[in-house]
Structure formats: C-alpha cells, structure tokens
Amino acid sequence: MASIFAFYFFMELVNGIYTIQGIDVAEIARQFGTPVYVYDGSKIASQIKSLKNAFSDTDVRIKYAAKALTNVSILKLVKQNGAGVDVVSIQEAQLALGAGFAPAEIMFTPNCVDFEEIIQGVELGLTVNLDNLSVLEKFGKKYGNTVPCCVRLNPHIMAGGNYKISTGHSNSKFGISVYQLQEIMQLANRYQIVINGLHIHTGSEITETDVFLRMAEILFGIAQDFPALKFIDFGGGFKVAYKQGDLVTNVYDLGLRLSKAFKQFYQSYGRKLELWIEPGKYLVSEAGYLVVKTNVVKATPSLTFAGVDSGLNHLIRPMMYDAYHEIINISNPGGTQKVYTVVGNICETDTLGADRKLNEVREGDLLVFKNAGAYGYSMASNYNSRFRPAEVLVVNGEAKLIRRRDTLEDLLRGQIDIF
C-alpha cells in the first residue's frame, strides 16, 4: 500500500471545549492575544518517532527542513527528539548552531547564493550540498580534496501536489540535471573533489512510495561512480493531511520498501551507507494552529464574509499555492452550520478559505486554521505594517510563549530617519 488516509488531528473537542494537551485553546488566545500561532510539541515529537520507527531497519538520519519553522524553541525540541537539521541559508545555519546542533548535524543546501555563503558554510563545518556546476567548479578550485561535499541532482521527475511545489522536474531551478552527470564527473576528477553524498528532493506532498523508489533507482545507478559516498539523501516531501480523509504518505510502507532497496544497493556498493531524509512539513504542519478573532461578519447579496484579524501576512499559503487549510469555529462548536468566505484584514483580496461550512460565526468568535505549523510564521510578513503574531508552544501540558508579538519598535527597527 503506497498511501493511507488520515483520520484525526491532535486538537480535540472535549465537553464542548477545544483543547491541546488538555489546555483550552480559547484560554491560550485570551492569555496571549490574537492572532497567535499555537504548536503542539507532542505532535512534533510523535512525528519524529514515527519516522525513526518506519526506517528502523536502516541507518537513517532525519534532517529537519528548518525553513518550515525556524523558531529556536522548535529547533531545540527537534534536536531533543534525536533529529538533525537541513538549512538553506547561512542565517538558518546560525540559528541551528545557536539551538545546539553540532556542525556535523547540519546539512546546508543553498540555492543561487553567492559563493561567499558557501565559504561561510565550510568555515562553520557544515555538510555542504551543491546544486549547480558553476558552484561545484568554484568549490573544487578552492578546496580540492580537502573538503568533501554533497551534490544535489535533478532527476527530471514531476512529483508533488502541484508545479509550484515540485522541485525535481526538468524546468526546476534546483539541482544539477542527471543528464549532466558527465560534467559532474569531469569536475570531480579535474579538481579531485571528494563527493561524499548524493541528494535528491523532488518537492512536497508526495503520497506514493513508488516516487521515492524511482528516485532511488536513479540514485543507485549513479552512485556506483562515486567511490567516497558516506550517505544518500532522499529529501522529504511526505504528504500530511489537510482535511479528514486526505491521502497521506504511508511512511511505514515507504520505510520498509526504501530501506530494503537501500540495503541491497549498499551491499553491491561494497560498504554500509547512511540513509538521510529531510522532513519539514511532516514534522510541524499538523502540530501548528493559527488562532484568529472574527472582526466582522459581512453579508452581501451573494456571499457572507467572516473577516478576521489576520490575513495573507500571516498565512500566505492559500494565496500562494491555493492551499487548503481546515477552519474551525472553536467559540461555537454546537452552532448551526452556514457557508462563509473567510477573509483577512489586509488591503488585498486575501481569501483564506472560500465557501466553507462553519458553525455559525459571530463577531468576536475565535476561528482556528489547522496545518499552520509549516510555512506559517516562517513566511509571515509585516505587510500593511501589521504586527506578526506571537508563537506559543504547548509542551508537557503547559502553554509557553516562544516568541512575543511584534511591536511598533520592531517595525521601526533598522529604519533611519534622515529628516
């Protein structure tokens, strides 16, 4: 079986009250204000555990894709649960180091950056992952055989939820084409580059195990030409549920079948290698909730709008990717269902959810957007000079503030008044 259906989320309705780890979500909103991101730490820990169990038959290394959510407390929680980290900028690397990750635990996979940033990554001791021939040649000229590197390949496989989030197709800016393998080998030989890892990441929301096995087949065929490999990195892209009944990646099926193929490969390769994966959304998406307050309920001849105190500045995925986020009225769980279009308070058409059946929404009601843990705060902005929300982590049955809400001073920081 390649995919499974999702049947539950961790936020629970108990005696008419929505709770996370037994804490009233509405009370969290009252304590910290709205809008507010709330993360369930136990869900993050359980997702890491599920991947470890799924790949228990091989030497797996989990590298959390930090771009999904970079709060230092989240990074520390990930580390405490035995995962490493994948970063895409030198700033993310510095955050990871500050959270306690050792340089050897950090995979650095930048794209289209100045070579100076690559040099900084080497100086920090990170595992550097290179994804274009120009940078690979510069790397070889500077370091020769003194610093190993990983190479990111583009497998020319269209995978994932849609074209915008697929990164392994032929027109993607990511990775060196598998059809340029000869050029990679020529550079490696010319500069004696030690390539100790091969990497493929084809995108997000991949439900089928067969996609990963196709990637594996490509990688295994190429890997025989690289004698110094330490690991092969299969990226991430594991699909999580956005609503009841969604198809999701069956990580246990994936772990079983990919681990079996991987072991067969490294036996023919001649020595044992590490299998790396890079989950981002899989670890934090379902753990996160964006809690907002309904400012206005606006009935028109064609629609009824529920206008909230948030918008595309806090959750851009519906506008950027046409992403679906389930919305719940936690203030009126027993109310009659009606159809609403939920919009933000930004001076743009920022529809967060169109034509949604919600329990009757009244002005002042709290609405919750699910799956706000990944690419929620990390893609948030101060557009319209609105403040970014606070972040709260629920851990060990306690709701703890892990980032305060922006203030006017935050908006002015860095500005220089020349008059």
Tell me which residues are annotated as active site.
Answer: 347
**Burial (CB count <10 Å: 0-12, 13-18, 19+), residue 384:** middle
Q: Are 323 and 242 a contacting pair, CB within 8 Å?
A: yes
Neighbours of 356 (CB within 10 A): 21
The three state secondary structure string of the chain is CCEEECCCCCCEEECCEEEECCEEHHHHHHHHCCCEEEEEHHHHHHHHHHHHHHCCCCCEEEEEEHHHCCCHHHHHHHHHCCCEEEECCHHHHHHHHHCCCCHHHEEECCCCCCHHHHHHHHHHCCEEEECCHHHHHHHHHHHCCCCCEEEEEECCCCCCCCHHHECCCCCCCCCEEHHHHHHHHHHHHHHCCCEEEEECCCECCECCHHHHHHHHHHHHHHHCCCCCCCEEECCCCECCCCCCCCEEECHHHHHHHHHHHHHHHHHHHCCCCEEEECCCHHHHCCCEEEEEEEEEEEECCCCEEEEECCCCCCCCHHHHHCCCCCEEECCCCCCCEEEEEEECCCCCCCEEEEEEEEECCCCCCEEEEECCCCCCHHHCCCHHHCCCCEEEEEECCEEEEEECCCCHHHHHCCCCCCC
Q: Which residues contact 419 (CB under 8 A, 6 or more apart)?
A: none
Rounded Cα gap, residues 259 and 265, in angstroms: 10
